A and B are shown apart, each in its own frame.
Chain A
Amino acid sequence: MRFAAIGSALVAVALCAMPLKSQAQDASEKEIERYRAMISDPMSNPGFLAVDRGEILWSEKRGTKNVSLEGCDLGLGAGKLEGAFAKLPRYFKDADKVMDLEQRLLWCMQTVQGLDTKDVVARRFSGPGKASDMEDLVAYIANKSSGMKIDVQLSHPKELEMAAVGEELFHRRGGVMDFACSTCHGSEGKRIRLQALPDLSKPGKEPQDTMASWPTYRVSQGALRTMQHRLWDCYRQQRWPVPDYGSDGITALTVYLNKMAQGGEIAVPSIKR
């Protein structure tokens, strides 16, 4: 009784101390912060299991040519992985195309390994009892750029086109709710429900922190997820049609977002809600 009275007195005093901000809301934000800190411990991040699986897949001989992916050039030369992810997406002369990591891996599977990627694409996003080669490979390869900085490639005209198109797509409204990416990510300090929204419309720390933390292990989904999945899920919530996996629009957005995130220090796989 006495404790309860003192407790309510303390709550009342706290209410007075910050009259402009809902006290309950503050408490929820603190609780979310605590949860984030708790799940950020890398020793308990299941995303590293995907890294290990990806390492095995990278050197596994597959396809009609029965070779591994070690002959795949991710931009720094065949089989060179250190720092390759930090400079992706980029223009590849052999394909005459700007590709993100996932597009490039599919290209290498088809071209280097002679692998029919139909099954790999069908398993692009893992689910219960369904492993994803792409998620595992991306975790492994991206991890080889951890500690390095996002270094967006904008020297080739096609890379510049990607960045410009990505910016347009970011602001393009549509769907039954008239939403664009920028509806939620176009100004500072906004929240959707209790979820803080990074402002991705201008260069800075928010896009850096965002882009440098993908791929990530999503606790709520029990899976490692890539940027392709993140943007697919954004378009779902935006009430847009389903985007094709490994399509150029997704890569264009990634180039634009990396341009905003230039210099962000990569730490992946991260772990998120």
Chain B
Amino acid sequence: MTMTSKFSVLVLGGALLCGSLVATLAADKAVEPKKAAETKPTVETKKAETPPPQKVATAVVDAYLKSTFGRAPPEWQARIEPDESMKVCNATRNQPSHAEADKIMASELKRVEFPADGKFLGDWKEGAKIANNGRGGQFSDDDKTVNGGNCYACHQMEKAEVSFGTLGPSLTNYGRDRKYDAAEIKQAYTKIYNSQAVIACSNMPRFGTNKFLSEQQIKDVMAFLFDPESPVNK
């Protein structure tokens, strides 16, 4: 054994130790408070101060919206008509009261359609593609565009992908950290289908309820998170 190779073996050992330390720390960080059934209404309270009072009448804002987007196709204009939940999120700048949050979560939960076949997990390889695809829903897209979940825009997922955003929490080891638990699987499906059913005024899109992703696409993304073979859990 030459000196160099002895040295690299030593360092490799050290790196492995470090690596496992990193993984442990990351895993600790990634685990969120558990099961919605047990938790009180969760509200994203990043800022403690209350939102400033609206200084201008809603009718005035609406008039500006009309003059700015009023020439877009009607079906596009309909997309920025806030529903009851979004009205509350807009009015409170995403800081609803506990009562408002309860109401949003209850009504949005009713808008979640669970798979008729009872299966939550599809193909993780397809899910990986959907997580990486940021296309769809833009006025520059044509009708052949396949919508993507664009998960990496906001979340870390498989460790090999270094181009990930930080607007949402890291989802590395998502399934493994949750021991592939059935309740966790249902909860994650709910969250992807309609984030507002889990966290009122969450920043995350309502992929299923807003008909952005199909049921099969959501199942595939679910498998990317929960399949033990998925690189997310490796």
- Give the distance in Å from the alpha carbon of A201 to the alpha carbon of B231 in the complex: 36
Give the residues from 191 to 234 in chain B that come closer than 8 angstroms, CB to CB, to chain A: 203, 205-206, 210-212
Given A9-B8, A173-B89, A249-B65: A241 and B76 interface contact (C-beta under 8 Å)? yes
Interchain CB contact under 8 A, B11 and A12: yes
Given A16-B14, A177-B205, A247-B67: A28 and B76 interface contact (C-beta under 8 Å)? no
- Give the distance in Å from the alpha carbon of A183 to the alpha carbon of B11 in the complex: 43
**Is B183 close to A, CB under 8 A?**
no
- Give the distance in Å from the alpha carbon of A190 to the alpha carbon of B206 in the complex: 21
Interchain CB contact under 8 A, A19 and B22: yes
Q: Mark A142-186, 1 if CB is under 8 A from B, else 0.
A: 000000000000000000010011011101111111111011100
**Is A243 close to B, CB under 8 A?**
yes
**Is B48 close to A, CB under 8 A?**
no
Interchain CB contact under 8 A, B137 and A241: no
**Is A15 close to B, CB under 8 A?**
yes
B68 CB, nearest partner CB in chain A, Å: 3
Interchain CB contact under 8 A, B14 and A12: yes
Q: Mark A218-258, 1 if CB is under 8 A from B, else 0.
A: 00000000000000000111011111100111101000000
Interchain CB contact under 8 A, B56 and A164: yes
**Is B61 close to A, CB under 8 A?**
yes
By beta carbon, the residue of chain A nearest B74 is: A241
A174 cross-chain contacts in B, Cβ below 8 A: 79-82, 86
Residue in contact with B61 in the complex, picked from A5, A19, A28, A165, CB distance below 8 Å: A165
**Is A43 close to B, CB under 8 A?**
no
- Which stretch, A110-118, A130-138, A191-199, touches the partner chain B? A191-199
B231 CB, nearest partner CB in chain A, Å: 15
Q: Mark A1-18, 1 if CB is under 8 A from B, else 0.
A: 010011011011101100
- Give the distance in Å from the alpha carbon of A165 to the alpha carbon of B211 in the complex: 30
**Is A22 close to B, CB under 8 A?**
yes
Residue in contact with B64 in the complex, picked from A24, A169, A180, A237, CB distance below 8 Å: A169
Interchain CB contact under 8 A, A239 and B137: yes
Give the residues from 12 to 51 in chain B that come closer than 8 angstroms, CB to CB, to chain A: 12, 14-15, 18-19, 21-22, 25, 46
A11 CB, nearest partner CB in chain B, Å: 8
Q: What number of B residues sit within 8 Å (CB to CB) of A?
A: 58
B68 cross-chain contacts in A, Cβ below 8 A: 243-244, 247-250
Interchain CB contact under 8 A, B72 and A193: no
Interchain CB contact under 8 A, B167 and A191: yes
Residue in contact with B73 in the complex, picked from A13, A15, A24, A241, CB distance below 8 Å: A241
B8 CB, nearest partner CB in chain A, Å: 4
Interchain CB contact under 8 A, A19 and B56: no
A174 CB, nearest partner CB in chain B, Å: 4
Interchain CB contact under 8 A, A2 and B14: no
Interchain CB contact under 8 A, A241 and B80: yes
- Give the distance in Å from the alpha carbon of A182 to the alpha carbon of B15 in the complex: 40
A184 cross-chain contacts in B, Cβ below 8 A: 167
Interchain CB contact under 8 A, A249 and B69: yes
Given A165-B64, A176-B212: A12 and B12 interface contact (C-beta under 8 Å)? yes
Give the residues from 44 to 95 in chain B that come closer than 8 angstroms, CB to CB, to chain A: 46, 54-56, 60-61, 64-65, 67-73, 76-77, 79-82, 86, 89-90, 93
- Give the distance in Å from the alpha carbon of A192 to the alpha carbon of B55 in the complex: 31
B25 cross-chain contacts in A, Cβ below 8 A: 19-20
Task: List 20 A–B pairs whose Cβ atoms lie within 8 Å, in order of A's numbering.
Answer: A5-B5, A12-B15, A13-B14, A15-B15, A15-B18, A16-B15, A20-B25, A167-B55, A172-B80, A176-B79, A176-B137, A176-B211, A177-B137, A178-B206, A182-B93, A241-B72, A242-B76, A243-B72, A249-B64, A252-B64
B residues whose Cβ falls under 8 Å from a Cβ of A? 4-5, 7-8, 11-12, 14-15, 18-19, 21-22, 25, 46, 54-56, 60-61, 64-65, 67-73, 76-77, 79-82, 86, 89-90, 93, 137-140, 152-154, 159, 162-167, 203, 205-206, 210-212
Name the 4 nearest CB pairs between A and B, nearest first: A249-B68, A241-B72, A174-B80, A12-B15
A residues whose Cβ falls under 8 Å from a Cβ of B? 2, 5-6, 8-9, 11-13, 15-16, 19-20, 22, 24-25, 28, 161, 164-165, 167-169, 171-180, 182-184, 187, 189-195, 197, 235-237, 239-244, 247-250, 252
With A173-B82, A192-B165 given, name 12 new contacts (CB 8 A). A16-B18, A28-B162, A165-B61, A168-B54, A168-B56, A171-B90, A172-B80, A174-B79, A193-B153, A195-B165, A239-B79, A252-B64
